[in-house]
Amino acid sequence: MTHVPNPYKETTIIDIAKELNVSKSTVSRALKNHRSIGEATKKAVQDLAKKYNYHPNDIASSLSKRSTKTIGVIVPLLSHYYFSTVISGIEELAYKSGYKVIICQSAESYEREVIVSQTLLSSKVDGLLVSISRETKNYDHFKVFQEKNIPIIFFDRICPEIEASSVIINDYQGAFMAVEHLIKQGCRRIAHFAGPPLLLISQNRINGYKDALLAHNIPFDEELVIDCGPGLEQENGSQTAQQMLDAGLRPDAIFAFCDPIAIGAMVTLKKNKIKIPAEMAVVGFCNEPMDTVVEPPLSSLVQPAFQIGETAAAIFFQHIQDKTSPIEKRILSTELIVRESSLKKFKNFCNGNFESKKFCSNITQPVAHFKFFYQPCFLRLLFTIMVISPA
């Protein structure tokens, strides 16, 4: 009597085994092309699997292998270009290695971060890649992973308290370059629209900002470091800029924690008829696509999102391939993209080669090559500069 698979039930290796009068181990092996299985049975099994539209049950396999081939990812917000691009980078590598990716958002909430990390723990992810929420200051929910020997890699917004692998960019250097660039443009009172104070990246950027001033003998003015409050969106930048103006502050440049804030600030400045960059230059951070759309185009620092994702994933694979592989802290260098929003003097930029060293005099780390990333912007820039600020 032939075995008829129940149409309301998924076909399993047992169904195939019965039909072929072999054991389920044989089927299991045949299905994954195990070399110790005879060609004939192998083919028979595979054909029947196809015929019955068999799909392996990864859940069962995970349970028995004690590995889910899944990477958990926690980001603050998915709808930020930066984070979704990081995820693409992670996914790309994961995909190539046959890993799945479960993505969770903390929505910038500590509480939710704890909950989703617990979910991920229960889902038995093989590893965790995280960029922490801006509220997080207790890290116990991450320590659990380490106790269970689940590799955890932080990216961008890393965790200061935990000894774990991480991949970040050189925020200090980026901020330093941006501010030094502004100084070379002739700016002397440079405001910084700062990021969420708990985040290391915010602190590093402030430090880069301060040190660049210091390096150029410009006194640091506490008043010019302005907190943008909670939120990293355009409206926060707009509000902060308005508050600044209302307070009678008139810096000649703004270095913003991130691009949306910079763009929001630009909106306010334009509304107040302040000329950018002539009266106030602006530099952002992240080099988001929007930067080339706003007018004038926004100078910014590259955060190689895709590469950051890839790197984080690569470190994860390293850890699971070699359980003893040491913690790795990767620091990617950043790059300053100069666009019109911060370009007061035209002459500096005409001679083709830029001395990157000049831009980063007292940074020990290797310096990113200073170059024009987006060709067309240079052309447009020529044009616009000559028309708008003939200086």
- CA distances 318 to 123, 145, 326, 375, Å, are 21, 17, 9, 37
What angle (nearest 5°) sits at the alpha carbon of residue 163, between those of residues 157 and 168? 30
Binding to a second copy by residue 185, rule CB under 8 A?
Answer: no
Q: Per CB under 8 A, which of residues 23..52 are in contact with a second copy? A: none
6 versus 353: smaller Cβ distance to DNA: 6
Binding to DNA by residue 25, rule CB under 7 A?
Answer: yes
57 versus 362: smaller Cβ distance to DNA: 57
Euclidean distance between CA atoms 184 and 359, whole angstroms: 9
CB of 101 to DNA, least distance (A): 20
Q: Of 32-40, 113-121, 244-252, 353-361, which segment contacts DNA by CB under 7 A?
A: 32-40
Residues 62, 242, 318, 333: which binds a second copy (CB under 8 A)? 62
At 242, which amino acid appears? Q
Euclidean distance between CA atoms 243 and 224, whole angstroms: 12
Peptide bond into 390 cis (omega under 30): no
Binding to a second copy by residue 79, rule CB under 8 A?
Answer: yes
Binding to DNA by residue 144, rule CB under 7 A?
Answer: no
Q: 264, 241 in Cβ contact below 8 A?
A: yes
> CB-based burial of residue 315 (10 Å sphere; 0-12 exposed, 13-18 middle, 19+ buried)?
buried
Quick one: what does residue 295 bind among a second copy, DNA, none, with the CB cut-off 5 to 8 Å set by partner type? a second copy
Q: Of 44-52, 113-121, 173-181, 191-199, which segment contacts a second copy by CB under 8 A?
A: 113-121
Asked whether the CA dihedral 367, 369, 372, 373 is positive or negative, the reply is: negative
49 versus 86: smaller Cβ distance to DNA: 49
Q: What is the x/- site pattern for a second copy, positions 249-288, by CB under 8 A? A: --------------x---x---x-----------------
DSSP code of residue 188: -
Residues 84, 318, 348, 356: which binds a second copy (CB under 8 A)? 84
Residue 302's closest CA among 374, 203, 355? 374
CB of 56 to DNA, least distance (A): 4
Q: 335, 369 in Cβ contact below 8 A?
A: yes
144 versus 247: smaller Cβ distance to a second copy: 144
In degrees and rounded to multiples of 5, residue 70 shows phi and psi of -135, 140
Q: Per CB under 8 A, which of residues 224..253 are in contact with a second copy? A: 234
Contacts with a second copy by CB under 8 A: the residue count is: 46
CB of 340 to a second copy, least distance (A): 13
In degrees and rounded to multiples of 5, residue 53 shows phi and psi of 60, 45
- CA distances 250 to 83, 194, 247, 269, 280, Å, are 33, 17, 9, 11, 8
Q: 351, 345 in Cβ contact below 8 A?
A: no
7 versus 289: smaller Cβ distance to DNA: 7
Q: Per CB under 7 A, which of residues 55..114 are in contact with DNA? A: 56-57, 60-61, 63-66
CB of 193 to a second copy, least distance (A): 17
Binding to DNA by residue 329, rule CB under 7 A?
Answer: no
Q: Six-digit token pair at 343?
A: 């370009």
Binding site for DNA (CB under 7 A): 9-10, 12-14, 21-26, 28-32, 35-42, 56-57, 60-61, 63-66
